[in-house]
Structure 1
């Protein structure tokens, strides 16, 4: 059976007994959310800024898209000051069943709220929106088909006209053998989030690349049990590909948002006060326990800021006022 990568990935991740319907992400890969509570603290600072900009309304939304185990929403809600927590409406959005032990105040839903007034954040969500893969041939782009049971590939028909237009605009392939992931489904998914944003901010954080620097052979990959594996769409592993966040930004603008930033996690978190700076050595003599706490904190911040790791993620920030 030969399927397009988009269809095969949709089934493998979200079909009956799909990978994300039966597995918890923390078992398979390390994310900013799972690394430490420091990421949630940074998201809380964003939420506080949005709350202030909205004039501290009676209700303010926090929407965690692709929530996984609901860790981010739960941590932000727990860290929020009393005044904000009393007004906060936290929603964790995921297709998987509600995790046991999630605080009752966290709404668990397969779809975002119809109207969001506050902060919506998608941390490593868009990279799991399935996309088709195209390969350049002497006769132009062709879809790549895959056998879901083996991962074996062959070329299929030309992409649809709309997908060819997307490739021409966002990921033109120059030489035979080059590959691209057609990111239009991610653009549409992000635009639907922005369309629900009545007021506030939407943030997408993900593996990303930009026009002019797209990888010539694509980024399709598989992960299982903390290790990279061949991307076989049989439901046994995560299937992911990096995100053209600049294309998502354009889609968000068409949906009515203004782009406040398109940057890296390193720069975004530094702007929120993270530095990764080690405490002064003298503190080890005067306050050894305080020194150890500060050292742990510095290590946690440094991991989130590492440009070769989590700090290299793309950050897209869009606003509606």
Structure 2
């Protein structure tokens, strides 16, 4: 999975096409998503006492689409204080605004907001399944064919993680690399917040057959780790949350976006009579909002918000 995503010819490192050509995220679905995040940035800025420099860091930034839109949506006074950093392993897009910094690793000593929108699901992990003797063994995949075989047994650390976070029998995805990655990311925030937005599950509802899959050209495909497709798996969100070791709040995207002013309500028919063009625009916005908050789709994603060094808890920000 590491080689298929981040190796020399990996899916994310080749830089030939953007991720938006292969799968649809909230960032690509509508600018309303960025608008909601802009309101969150304002709330975090207020909680921080409006610092001279507000650092806005996007981990797994794709082609910088989210930061580009956020810079346009923030109030002028705040935008003048914001320093945007895109964290991405792919080459910097030639057309990206030079005001957005581009680097392959997360900067330290952040005062502001760290964002990770659908990043953790692409942090590589191992998968185990049960052999004929009831033992957990690693699932190995042939990069040329996608054929699976069972390899060596899970080690003691992996078994410990599984016993705590994925104790159910059957196929399982060992999520400790995501725990470590997110804990390290949150640790880079000196004061402010860290927000992970991703699809995932909780301990009581782990999927019996796992979630590992692939995406190519907008279609779900066999997750062959040859660099030709995205290889992704849902995130064990409760394990990730606890690993960071700071106060947090975790709610669905539907709840979060509603708290940030997006409800998907249709405009009134009175607007259609007064301003037909405005009604059409409002109706289109309502449709986009409805996609973002649909419980069976993007609205079912999790928002995990950690606070670091500020009194306000997540419930006051979302």
For the aligned pair, the TM-score class normalised by the smaller chain equals over 0.9
Kindly indicate whether residue 279 of structure 2 is the aligned counterpart of residue 291 of structure 1: yes
Alignment correspondent of 1:5: none
Alignment correspondent of 2:190: 198
2:149 paired residue among 154, 159, 172? 154
Alignment correspondent of 1:282: 270
Deviation at 1:314, TM superposition (A): 1.2
Which runs of no fewer than 5 residues in structure 2 stay unpaired?
A: 310-318
Give me the whole-angstrom Cα distance separating, in 2, the residues matched to 1:303 and 1:146.
Answer: 35
Q: Structure 1 runs of 4+ off > 4 angstroms?
A: none
Give me the whole-angstrom Cα distance separating, in 2, the residues matched to 1:219 and 1:282.
Answer: 46
Kindly indicate whether residue 8 of structure 2 is the aligned counterpart of residue 16 of structure 1: yes
Can you list the C-alpha shifts for 1:244-278, whole angstroms capped at 9, x where unaligned? 0110001111xxx211x111111111111111000
1:311 paired residue among 294, 299, 302? 299
Structure 2 matches for 1:1-321, cutoff 5 A? 9-22=1-14, 23-137=17-131, 138-174=133-169, 178-253=170-245, 257-259=246-248, 261-321=249-309
Q: State the aligned residue count.
A: 306
Can you list the C-alpha shifts for 1:113-165, whole angstroms capped at 9, x where unaligned? 11111111100100000100011233321111111111111111111111110
Contact 1:136–1:173 (8 Å) recurs in 2: no
Give me the whole-angstrom Cα distance separating, in 2, the residues matched to 1:223 and 1:35.
Answer: 17
Give me the whole-angstrom Cα distance separating, in 2, the residues matched to 1:297 and 1:152.
Answer: 44
Report the TM-score when normalising by structure 1.
Answer: 0.94
Report the TM-score when normalising by structure 2.
Answer: 0.94
Contact 1:19–1:236 (8 Å) recurs in 2: yes
Contact 1:180–1:218 (8 Å) recurs in 2: yes
Which has the higher mean CA deviation after the structures are superposed, 55-64 or 22-31? 22-31
Alignment correspondent of 1:3: none
Give me the whole-angstrom Cα distance separating, in 2, the residues matched to 1:99 and 1:316.
Answer: 29
Deviation at 1:173, TM superposition (A): 2.7
Can you list the C-alpha shifts for 1:168-195, whole angstroms capped at 9, x where unaligned? 0000132xxx111000000000000111
Q: Secondary structure at the match of 1:249?
A: helix
Q: Secondary structure at the match of 2:204?
A: coil
RMSD of aligned residue pairs (Cα, Å): 0.9
Give me the whole-angstrom Cα distance separating, in 2, the residues matched to 1:139 and 1:105.
Answer: 55
Q: Secondary structure at the match of 1:276?
A: coil
Deviation at 1:288, TM superposition (A): 0.4
Q: Secondary structure at the match of 1:21?
A: coil
Can you list the C-alpha shifts for 1:4-47, whole angstroms capped at 9, x where unaligned? xxxxx110111012111123111011110011111111111111
Give me the whole-angstrom Cα distance separating, in 1, the residues matched to 2:130 and 2:187.
Answer: 34
Which runs of no fewer than 5 residues in structure 1 stay unpaired?
A: 1-8
